Every structure is written in structure tokens, then in C-alpha cells.
């Protein structure tokens, strides 16, 4: 599969070869769902905590007599039926993270890349950097590469950790940076535009090739 390479001025420079084993797979919706669910679960902070009746501070004295009042029996006001009492089966701190099979995760990334290539929302751009580290310079480049009337979620896949580009784009809420070997299914799937550096294409072809 060939895809044209665009310059930072928005002009076509040539073509680059996309591996069919990475960018030409059929869409597997199930594995995409599992990969996104896994990432959200691993990012979840399980700090919610409630107190049981054994942990609530209060007296052990009966609120009223056991018999003679015509009311239901109660041992103390820390019961879960009282306001301020304990919580029955409430949440406790826990770890929601789990490990997804490596092959399934790699398949999810390749499936999403194939989906973006089929939908024509993936474009290859010549390597660039923002030496000034200014946000306006990066926005000017993206405006020529990805023409859009309004700000939409855009994902840029880099070959390496370009600190200058990331610093220029850290104030842009709709822009996300990913390294070729550390893709995130959630950001990649929900990205309306996927911009891949020309050098990152070769790395993706090799990194996600079947071994």
C-alpha cells in the first residue's frame, strides 16, 4: 500500500510504502474494544472508600429499649439504616488494572492503524520539528498539513521523543503525541486526524511486523 508524503507546506513530495501487515488488516472491533477497555481500567484510580458499621465512630449504646416501644429492634446508631451509619457493600480501595495479552494488544494497534488508513484519516508528513518551541509555529504547520475549520482531535505519531515538538503542543488540548513504539489505542482510535512522521512509518512497518 502506498500513501503520498506531504510537506509542511501542504505540497505532495512523493510516496511511501505502508506495510499491508500493519496498515492493510481487516477491522477487528472486538480487539479494539478490549484494548481501549484495558487502557481505561489501567488508568483508573481506585481510591474510593466507604466505612462499614465497624469503622464508623459512635457509641455502642442502644438508641432505645429493646422491648416495649413498639419499634423495630436496633443495636446501635452505627447501623447502615441510620443517617451517618456504616455503608453496606460500599467501595473499598482496589486496583482495577490488568494485563492484556501482548499479541492481542499489538493486533489492536495494527487494526486501528488499518482503520485510519482505510478511512483516509491517516496522512504521512515529512519529518519536522519546532525549534522555537512556540505553539503558534506548530499550529501554523498543522494548519497547512491538516486543513480544518474547527479544532478536532489530532494525533501525531513521532519516531522519537522530540521534546521541542511536544513542548510546542502541550498547550493544545486537541493535540496528542504518540511514539511509534508506545501507541495508545484510546487516543489513536478517537483521533479524527492521524499525522505520521515519514520516518515513523518505517519504524511502524518494522516494529509491528509479524515475528
Query: Is 60 exceeded by the pLDDT of residue 71?
Result: yes
Could you tell me if 25 and 116 lie in one domain?
yes
pLDDT given for residue 196 in this prediction: 93
Closest by Cα among 210, 198, 23 to 109: 23
Mean of pLDDT values over 157-174: 90
**Is the predicted pLDDT of residue 151 greater than 80, yes or no?**
no
DSSP state of 61: S
Residue 148: predicted pLDDT: 67
Query: What's 170's domain CATH number?
Result: 3.40.1370.10
CA 42, distance to chain mean position in Å, is 10
Confidence check: pLDDT of 211 > 70: no
Contact between 11 and 197 (Cβ < 8 Å): no
Range with the poorest average pLDDT among 7-11, 92-96, 164-168, 178-182: 7-11
Residue 38 inside a domain? The answer is no
115, 70 in Cβ contact below 8 A? no
For residues 133 and 50, state if they share a domain. no
Q: Are residues 9 and 50 in the same domain?
A: no
Residues 148 and 83 occupy one common structural domain: no
Query: Does one domain contain both 140 and 192?
Result: yes
Using pLDDT thresholds of 50, 70 and 90, give the confidence band for residue 112.
very high
Residues 6+ apart with CB under 8 A from 19: 1, 204, 205, 208, 209
Question: Hey, which residues does 154 pair with through a beta bridge?
Answer: 175, 193
Q: Are strands 154-158 and 175-179 parallel, antiparallel or unpaired?
A: parallel
Domain range for residue 120?
A: 2-30+101-207
**Quick one: pLDDT at residue 96?**
96
Check whether residue 150 and residue 202 sit in a common domain: yes
Whether residues 89 and 180 fall in one domain:
no
Half-sphere exposure of 4 (CA within 13 A, CB side): 9
Instruction: Encode pLDDT of 18-52 as tens digits.
Output: 999 999 999 999 999 999 999 999 999 999 999 99
| Pairs from 54-62 (Cβ < 8 Å, separation ≥ 24) | 54/86, 55/86, 56/84, 56/85, 56/86, 58/84, 58/85
pTM above 0.95, yes or no: no
* Total structural domains within the chain: 2
Amino acid at each position: 500500500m502506498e500513501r503520498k508524503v506531504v510537506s509542511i507546506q501542504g505540497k505532495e513530495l512523493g510516496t511511501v510504502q505502508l506495510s499491508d501487515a500493519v496498515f492493510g488488516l481487516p477491522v477487528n472491533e472486538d480487539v479494539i474494544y478490549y484494548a481501549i477497555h484495558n487502557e481505561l481500567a489501567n488508568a483508573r484510580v481506585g481510591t474510593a472508600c466507604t466505612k462499614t458499621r465497624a469503622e464508623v465512630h459512635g457509641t455502642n449504646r442502644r438508641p432505645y429499649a429493646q422491648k416495649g416501644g413498639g419499634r423495630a429492634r436496633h443495636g446501635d446508631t452505627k447501623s447502615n439504616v441510620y443517617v451517618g451509619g456504616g455503608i453496606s457493600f460500599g467501595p473499598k480501595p482496589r486496583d482495577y488494572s490488568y494485563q492484556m495479552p501482548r499479541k492481542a494488544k499489538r493486533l489492536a494497534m495494527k487494526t486501528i492503524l488499518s482503520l485510519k488508513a482505510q478511512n483516509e484519516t491517516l496522512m504521512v508528513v515529512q519529518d519536522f520539528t519546532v525549534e522555537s518551541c512556540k505553539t503558534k509555529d506548530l499550529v501554523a504547520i498543522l494548519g497547512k498539513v491538516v486543513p480544518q475549520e474547527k479544532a478536532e482531535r489530532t494525533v501525531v505519531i513521532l519516531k522519537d521523543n522530540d521534546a521541542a515538538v511536544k513542548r510546542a503542543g502541550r498547550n493544545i488540548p486537541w493535540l496528542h503525541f504518540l511514539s511509534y513504539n508506545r501507541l495508545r489505542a484510546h487516543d489513536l482510535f478517537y483521533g479524527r486526524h492521524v499525522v505520521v512522521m515519514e520516518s515513523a512509518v518505517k519504524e511502524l512497518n518494522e516494529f509491528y511486523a509479524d515475528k
